[in-house]
Structure 1
Amino acid sequence: MYLANEKKLLFIIRYLLSIIILLLSIALTTFLYFEHKETFEKIKQETEVRFFNEKKQLIKEQIDYIYNYIIDEQNSTEETLKKTLKTKIYDAHKVIINIYNQYKDIYTKEEITLLIKIVLRDMKFNDNRGYFFIYDKNGKNIFHGLNSELEDENLIKHQDSEGVFALKESLNLLKNSDESYQTWYWKKTQEDEHEYKKIGFIKNIYELDWFIGTGEYIEDFNKSIQKDVIKQISKFSFGENSYLIITDKNNNYISHINKGLIGENAFAKIKSVNDKNNLNAISKVINESQGYVSLEFYKPSTTTIESKIIYLKTIPKWDWVISTGFYENDVAVLIDKEKKTLALAYEKNIKELLLASFLSTIILLGISFYISYLIEKKLNAYKADIKGYIDENQKQYELLAQKTKLVAMGQMLENIAHQWRQPLSLITISASGIKIKKELDLLEDDFLLSSLNTIENSAYHLSETIEDFRDFFKPDREKSLFSMNSALDKTFKLLQIQLDNKQIKVIRNVDDLSITGFEREFLQVLLNIFKNAMDALESIPNEKYIFVDIYKEDTSLIIKIKDNAGGIKEDIIKRVFEPYFTTKHQSQGTGIGLYMSEEIITKHMDGVLEVENTSYEFEGENFIGALFIITMPLK
């Protein structure tokens, strides 16, 4: 029995610590392996998202750069034109003064005039659009670089299409100044019946009692600038299979890597390889001025159709749409390449992990064997001492020696147990913690059933409410004929509870009229105006009213909505249709409602939205309030 226990003890001393270390090493290595694997899979997924987001951000930055460049060019257009005109006038003025000074003592004024005409006749600029004209101080035309038939005519009484006496204005400007800028309207050609706006520069010629001038049609100069802008940005590099696209207000290509598409309709080209949803998405983003769109399109220099993500932005004033994008397949190739790189790095990390784990295990096993060896050696030493003591005292001390040996062995085991207690305790606590968290379930069935019943009842009620709002906010695709009474009914159905809670009375005086337009957008306008009136009426302690009058006036539909909330302050009433302007707290208003309402009425309904303060009498009482007036054509 003693020999068997001694063998067990020696086995424990020699191998138990090593076995524990080996098991812990295997467990830790396995845990780290799967942790690395999970992290690797997560990184692969994040890489795909990151690549697409980075690519989307890149094309947005490219478009924003082009956009800012074009806006800068737009902003500097008039200034550039003015500088050009001023420079040309200075050059022409210098030529005239030189001719005058050179020949004033030789030739008559008529001969000098003829010589000046000959020289100026050939002085053209801005692709031969720019020319000079000269008048005397009585309005008589001395020289005209475009229409020589005007020469010797007095045009002092000439009015442009805006009713302005251009020559009188020129003479007034030059009374107290050597030179001045001026705007007027003039024909582009002799046969032209329409006049176009020009920006000009005029300068006194005191020596001859004349003034010289020139000008440029803003429309023509803008076209010239646009042409230069397109030429300049066509030089920008966007990377392989990426390029800039510019379309005009009619959606025709005016810049494209495929020159054969220039002048063709972009929507017609896109429509041939895309469904209606993609086309609607593009139209929506154009209306919103900027955004991302996914579509199908031909890859450059191929007949292959691939999925593409584009970012587009509208250019104000010029009605351009600029866009660029990337083919998803190109990004997928980069993602696959990155995934392969990550896979190689993952394999390398796993190898390093396994190697580190193996080396750590070997080192720990070596240490454990050494410790076991020392313990065994110490134990053997004790055993030898006990054996010697027993041999020395022979039989009389045999029992005492045996007891002493057992005590010594017990103490040794106690010491060993004390050394193992803390590591084993940590292992037990960790395992127990995992088990408790896994098995602990604090959710009661009664509570769960009660909550589900509550959710079900609430969801049913929400479903009914959602049905009302879903049709209201569904986007309009086409114009339709709708009734004013019906539109008001739908709006008040959404607002009735709030009107009742706030004790607001609605007085309707509505003719049975119908109009063709976007009904849901019109409902949004009504909703915005009524909401503003309701908010304003909250602070009114007395009777609260909203009056709605709808009637026909000539060929127009008139809608008047007024309240008795005291009106809008005069210093802000002109700003209520500005975007992001609001007098409410940030949590109550964004300042975008009335702005969007005016946009809908003016751009989508061909009407006008106005606001003013009004005083009126109702049931013997005088009131003051804001009056919103919508005027729309009855078609």
Structure 2
Amino acid sequence: MFSEKNIPKLIILTPIFTIIILVIIILYSFIKTQKDYFQTESIQLEQDYIQKQKVVLQKEIEYIFNYIDYHKNLMLDNTKKNINIQMDAFTQLISKQKNNHQKYYEYVLQNANSNTDFIIYDISSEKLYKDPDVFFQKYQIDDIQTSLENQNQMFTLEDETNLYFYKYLKEEKIIVVLIKDIFYSLDDLKYSISRWVEYIRFGNNNYFWIHTNTNKLLAHPYRQEDINKDDTNLKDAKGTLFVQKFIKLAIKNHQGNFLEYFWPKPNQIESTQKLAFIKLYKEWNWIIGTGIYMDEIHQVISNKKKDLEKKIDTYIQNTIIIAFFLMVFISFLSIIISQQINNTFKRYQDKVHRKELKLKDLNQNLHVKIDLAIKEAKQKDRTMLRQSRLARMGEMLNMIAHQWRQPLSQLAGIMMEVETTIAFKKANDKFLLGATNDATKIIQFMSLTIEDFKNFFKPEKNKENFYVSKACKEAIGLIKESLINQHIVLNVEIIQDKQIKGYQREYSQVILNLLVNAKDALIMNHVKNANIILNIDIKDNISIVQVKDNAGGINKDHIESIFDPYFSTKKSQGTGLGLYMSKMIIETNMQGKLSVLNDEKGAVFTISI
């Protein structure tokens, strides 16, 4: 199946089948997602609609409450106006008598009627003039006397049916009280509101009803024969004493409660589940309720679900049609592209065949070329090593020259002194012996210097433990005279020393190379007050040696290449192998790390082992 002959067919057919499978998988996932979405939205739609209907029921009950409050306040306002007229007439009658207290009792009895009583309180004598049958005590005036003297008149309502009107006559120093029994007015208002509630409708013929807190039915548009009857034992179709539940829930929660029960629709016999909202009108102890039948809610929800399902089905159908046309288009495009790929593949087959012939010929001579490449690599390594050695020899000769310059000057001085002494014939054995001893010491120093340089560059075969400070001092001893000659100050800071295992001479050579590079940078940049800092420390049990200078640092374009072979910033003077060999010694031979960065003054080379 996967032979070379079948590859063109696979190139054409594989994308088509892949596209078909992907389209089927995507469509299946899409349809499943839409179905899940429909289920989720259906549940949410049902919850939202039921909640919306609950809000409607609450608003309708609030409308009834507002209506009751409005007409109750209107009745009280009208009553107060009438009382005010009666009070004005009564006080004018009293004012004409000019403190004739004997007439007070007579006026009180004459102006009283079935629902109105007058009381006069004489502030000076603290005496009440009233009908003996009227229940009124002096403490009722004491409670409001201060406020009344400031306001002159005020109304109070007690027991919801007795409206008191107090008026203070300052000149007569009396308080007149008019008591109005509004029981019948209030009862008439309750009756008219009950009848009005029975005619109110909202929605699909939904209605209201009223019970007292003692389960007595006050208003119901479809139970007129049961008005003023006790509904304590009234049950719904499921046998629930729902009126008792209405009353208990309304009294328990004054914000209102929702309750479901089964009750027939108007002019029907069969009971249907109904969602009711009941709320207590506390001032009259009325439980006012309304509701909506659940089958109507479910019918609306069912219609909304059908609309939603229809939209989703239409969306799925359109998506399938679009997907089909896209599949056909992509398949056609895939065939065209596959043919182009097939043609390209054939061309590459021809090229590969030609390449294979070339490779066969190349393989026959491959071992010869590999041997030649290995020889060239070895020759390159030997050349690099030779150049490195030549560079180190040049540096060594330069440092020997600096080390010998002063001893040679001293020898020249001794020879001149001997020659002068002999010329003036003042030379004796003691003088000649002393001059010979001085010359011998200088020659021995020069010989030791040669020995130090020879040992310093002698290769080591075995690793040994050595202190970092000792290896650094060996390198410093070789370059010290050269630095002094160039007026460069070397500061050595040994914070913490550490014993490490490795090649001590190679480590010293790396330190020497870093010091030489720092010296060359300072000379090349003509730095005044040139100085080099060699810092020895330990961090996290790792030996840290830093060589810093104030030559201005390495160019940012060069710092990434500073350890590459044959890369040098010294123009014609450098070989470009010093830092490369130093990095190889530290990282390859001693498993450490050599790094560089610039600080605000110059370059900072760090050796971590």
- For the aligned pair, the TM-score class normalised by the smaller chain equals 0.3 to 0.5
State the TM-score, normalizing by the size of structure 1: 0.44
